[in-house]
Amino acid sequence: MPAAISLKECRALAFDALSHAGVSHANAEAVADHITRAEADGCKSHGLFRLPGYVASVNSGAADPQAEPEIVDAAPGLVAVDARRGFAPLAIARGRGALADKAHEQGIACMTIRNSFNFAALWPDIEPLAEAGLVAFTFVNSQSFMAPAGGTEALFGTNPMAFACPRGGGRAPMVFDQASAAMARGEIQIAARDGHTVPAGTGLGSDGQPTTDPAAILAGVQLPFGGYKGSSIALMVELMTGGLSGGFFGYESAADHKRDGGPSNGAQSFIAIDPGRLAGPEFFAHVEALFERLLANGEARLPGDRRLAARARTAEEGITVEDALYTTLQGLAGRV
């Protein structure tokens, strides 16, 4: 029987579990906020499910629970952040204001983050930029779990990217957020936990052969979505993250990883653009016209609409947490 809890309780549980593990107040708040946003938007694979992994990375000594990110004003349009082996949410929260200011001042700005332990979904990272009127991209790499198209050995992380577009009229921004892998690793882990198979094309077993067994894929390699096209996007994400930031590529991150079940030392980058400086004030009406046509087109929907519907629902109803996970989290929070 799953436990039913409010979002406030979710945030408190996450904060307490992290604090109990020795995570600093600022880091625990930032990670708890990220986890709660994932749960609020119905993203179970990046919500409370990830909390034991964050704690494991502290216990193994991989992540620094007291890390204070270093923010460098690298150029008029550039922010360079070194997370100093801390969790990504605090590094992002600390750097994002400077990124937005520079994008408003210059019309465009870029921020890189290296040495950051990222275990999260990406839309919460850029939704605030779009709420501030900016078009935004973000890219993240992780330790290598995925073979390039045609390969059988892990080289790339599952390498998600997200894109956000502001909307007028008080509407929530349109944000899509997707892995370069055919299936996000968290989803494969949940399928393995729940005894389900995964679709063909998700990955290869350690023998290099295609399989639909999630446990075999977790021991083998994942595959990119869409063959060589997804593989090129994963390659771009490596270059935009480990490359641009001077941090780790996926395979370097894997070599650094302590096999503790937690996040890896990866990298991230952001690009933020002020659309008004290019398209003028007509930008908002123009994009709405495109969205209206899309929505009038058969069963098409905007990316992010499922999340926003979940957000409206969980604000009223709260969330459910799988029973065994809830017991684990209570233990981590020192409540049993």
Do 7 and 315 meet the contact criterion of CB atoms below 8 Å apart? yes
Rounded CA-CA distance 29/19 in Å is 9
Q: Does 268 bind ligand NDP (CB under 6 A)?
A: no
Instruction: Find the binder of ligand NDP among 84, 151, 176, 258 (CB under 6 A).
Output: 176
User: Is residue 286 part of the contact set for ligand NDP (CB under 6 A)?
Assistant: no
Can you tell me the distance from the alpha carbon of 65 to that of 68, in angstroms, rounded to the nearest whole number? 9
Among 116, 142, 269, 314, contact with ligand NDP (rule: CB under 6 A): 142
By CB under 6 A, residue 103 contacts ligand NDP:
no
What is 135-161 written as a DSSP string?
A: EEEEEE--S--BPPTT--S--B----E
Task: Please report how close the Cβ of residue 51 comes to ligand NDP at its closest, in angstroms.
Answer: 14
Q: How far apart are CA 332 and CA 105, in angstroms?
A: 44
Q: Which stretch binds ligand NDP (CB under 6 A): 59-67, 114-122, 232-240, 323-331?
A: 114-122
Find the DSSP H helices in the chain.
7-20, 25-40, 51-59, 88-106, 123-131, 185-194, 214-219, 228-238, 244-245, 250-256, 276-279, 283-295, 305-317, 323-332
Does 14 participate in binding ligand NDP (rule CB under 6 A)?
A: no
Phi/psi at 248 (nearest 5 deg)? -90, 145
Look up tokens 């700005």; give the residue.
109
Considering only residues 51, 90, 121, 218, which one is a binding residue for ligand NDP as defined by CB under 6 A?
121
Q: Interface with ligand NDP includes 229 (CB under 6 A)? A: no
Structure tokens at 211: 């399989």
Q: Please say whether the dihedral angle defined by the alpha carbons of residues 227, 230, 231 and 232, taken in this order, is positive or negative.
A: positive
The stretch near ligand NDP (CB under 6 A) out of 1-9, 11-19, 78-86, 299-307 is 299-307
Contact pick of 109, 140, 221, 287 for ligand NDP (by CB under 6 A): 140
Of 27, 158, 222, 245, the residue at the interface with ligand NDP (CB under 6 A) is 158
What separation in angstroms does the CA of 240 have from each of 111, 114, 244, 267? 10, 11, 5, 9
Q: Does 231 bind ligand NDP (CB under 6 A)?
A: no
Does residue 303 interact with ligand NDP by CB under 6 A?
Answer: yes
Q: What is the DSSP letter of 240?
A: I
| Under rule CB under 6 A, residue 120 binds ligand NDP | yes
Query: Which of the ranges 79-87, 127-135, 175-183, 212-220 carries the binding residues for ligand NDP, by CB under 6 A?
Result: 175-183
- With respect to ligand NDP, which residue has the nearer C-beta, 144 or 158? 158
Write the DSSP symbol of residue 182: S
For the CB of residue 120, give the shortest distance to ligand NDP in the complex, in Å. Answer: 5
- Nearest approach in angstroms of CB 105 to ligand NDP is 29
Backbone angles phi, psi at 136, to 5 degrees: -140, 145
Q: Which of 92, 165, 174, 184 binds ligand NDP (CB under 6 A)?
A: 184
Residues assigned a catalytic role? 45-46, 187
> What binding mask, one character per residue, do residues 17-56 give for ligand NDP by CB under 6 A, x or -?
--------------------------x--x----------
Closest chain position to ligand NDP (CB)? 121
Q: Identify which of residues 265 and 333 has a Cβ nearer to ligand NDP in the complex.
A: 265
When asked if residue 293 is in the footprint of ligand NDP (CB under 6 A), the reply is: no
What is the full DSSP assignment across 258-298? -SSSS--EEEEEEEEE-THHHHGGGHHHHHHHHHHHHHTST
306 binds ligand NDP (CB under 6 A): yes
Q: Angle between the 123-131 and 88-106 helix axes, to the nearest 10 degrees?
A: 30
Instruction: Tell me which residues touch ligand NDP (CB under 6 A).
Output: 43, 46, 118-122, 140, 142, 158, 160, 176-179, 184, 187, 301, 303-307
